[in-house]
Structure 1
Amino acid sequence: MRQLALAALALAAPAAAQLPPGIWSTVEDVAFAAEEGRVSSEEVFLEVREDGSWRRIDAFGAGQSEWANGAIPQLAAAPQSHSGWMLGASELRRATRFSCWVSARKFAGQPDGSPAWTFSKAETFDQGGRIAFPGKGEAPDFAIRLRNVTWAKGSTNKPSLVLYIHKHDPTRAESYAWASPDASLIGINLRWMQGSCSRL
């Protein structure tokens, strides 16, 4: 049913559809495609500038293509809708940027025996955005991932802002914390690391 609705939106969309500025992602649509009986496609991340130029990026925000000024292939939008943007058969969602800080406990402590900690700051976004924090041999290597999750159709779970911590597996998280989808801040403390992300 959802796939038919998305296809109908694509047929009804204007030919010159243009995404508003920001970061856009298909992560949430792709994440639950299989559970909803739909064919899953690859995760896509797009960055659009104020002048309408765009490029593909990865989950870390790094450019994966040159900036382009033409139409985005397979982009369609539902008339009079702010949430009907699609890329092919996948729904695109606009991301919100977050500023994050993390601190990880170093392998070697202070001379007095107390723990020593790293401290880092970086920005990401809530539609599958990731930040890698290499320990440089002094602390564990890990990454954080941020999603504003809308669960598969039929799920009893409520939409949530989720902060994931990944160590060795980029798919399965080491741990995670969740908050209201409109939360201004989300944090986590795992003893060996701690941090939080704040809405910009």
Structure 2
Amino acid sequence: MKWTAQCRGGAAGAALLLGALVLAGCGGAPESAEPGGSPDESHLAEAPAEFTGWIAVRRDLTDEALAPGYFSREELEGGEGWARITGLRWSSAGSRVPVVIDGEATGYEVELHQVSYGGRVPVLKLAVYREGVEMALAYTWAAPDSRRIGINLRWMQAGLTRIED
């Protein structure tokens, strides 16, 4: 099967997407996954898989901070400006986890959902949403049987691991 990756964010977005896919143990998306479209159905061939994971987000997150180049390299890599939320749970049947820092909602959610695009190849999708908005800010995908999946948006990161029986 031929694997390709496409991204609405141009070359930089595609590079970020490919990095996330490599971390997930996947070389790209199946050519027939039609990544530019919307998922048309949940796709679970067996019982939903459960995942545990973490989210890290900048504590000083603002709309301006989402602009490329807003944070310096030192700010992005420094530990003080990050909030890390651990012990979170997701289901491949489709679940969104709100991003909450010190009891305060950030207005963002991280979703895991096994879906198919165009009625074709099922994928495990990890997406970041603004609360109340149905279009994802960003997403990545992997094979449905992947043990790990992650995403790095510079201002927010998430890493999930399948809970083995």
TM over 0.5: yes
Structure 1 counterpart of 2:159: 196
Structure 2 counterpart of 1:142: 108
Matches within 5 A, 1:86-165: 94-107=47-60, 114=78, 116-121=81-86, 122-135=88-101, 140-153=106-119, 155=120, 158-165=121-128
Instruction: Output the CA distance in 1 between the equivalents of 2:89 and 2:145.
Output: 18
TM-score (norm 1): 0.46
Deviation at 1:101, TM superposition (A): 0.3
- Equivalent position SS for 1:141: strand
Residues 59 and 83, structure 2, Cα contact 8 Å, conserved in 1? yes
Structure 2: segments with no counterpart, 5+ residues = 1-38, 62-70
Letter in 2 for 1:127: A
Letter in 2 for 1:116: G
Give the number of the structure whose alpha-carbon radius of gyration is greater.
Answer: 1
Matches within 5 A, 1:65-76: none
- Alignment deviations for residues 140-189 of structure 1 (CA, whole Å, 9 cap, x no partner): 43111111112343x4xx32111010124442111101111111000000
- Alignment deviations for residues 12-55 of structure 1 (CA, whole Å, 9 cap, x no partner): xxxxxxxxxxxxxxxxxxx636xxxxxxxxx9xxxxxxxxxxxx
Letter in 1 for 2:125: V
Letter in 2 for 1:125: S
Structure 1 counterpart of 2:144: 181
- Equivalent position SS for 2:94: strand
Structure 2 counterpart of 1:20: none
Residues 106 and 139, structure 1, Cα contact 8 Å, conserved in 2? no
Which of the two has greater strand per residue?
2
Structure 1: segments with no counterpart, 5+ residues = 1-30, 34-42, 44-82, 84-92
- Alignment deviations for residues 66-124 of structure 1 (CA, whole Å, 9 cap, x no partner): xxxxxxxxxxxxxxxxx6xxxxxxxxx63110001010011189xx9656100112111
Residues 99 and 105, structure 2, Cα contact 8 Å, conserved in 1? no
- Equivalent position SS for 2:81: coil
Cα RMSD, aligned residues only: 3.0
Instruction: Output the CA distance in 1 between the equivalents of 2:161 and 2:103.
Output: 28
Higher relative contact order (CA 8 A, sep 6+): 2
Residues 97 and 125, structure 1, Cα contact 8 Å, conserved in 2? yes
Structure 2 counterpart of 1:32: 40
Letter in 2 for 1:105: R
Q: What count of residue pairs does the alignment treat as equivalent?
A: 108
Residues 115 and 123, structure 2, Cα contact 8 Å, conserved in 1? yes
Instruction: Output the CA distance in 2 between the equivalents of 1:32 and 1:162.
Output: 13
Instruction: Output the CA distance in 2 between the equivalents of 1:170 and 1:127.
Output: 20
What percentage of aligned pairs have identical amino acids? 28
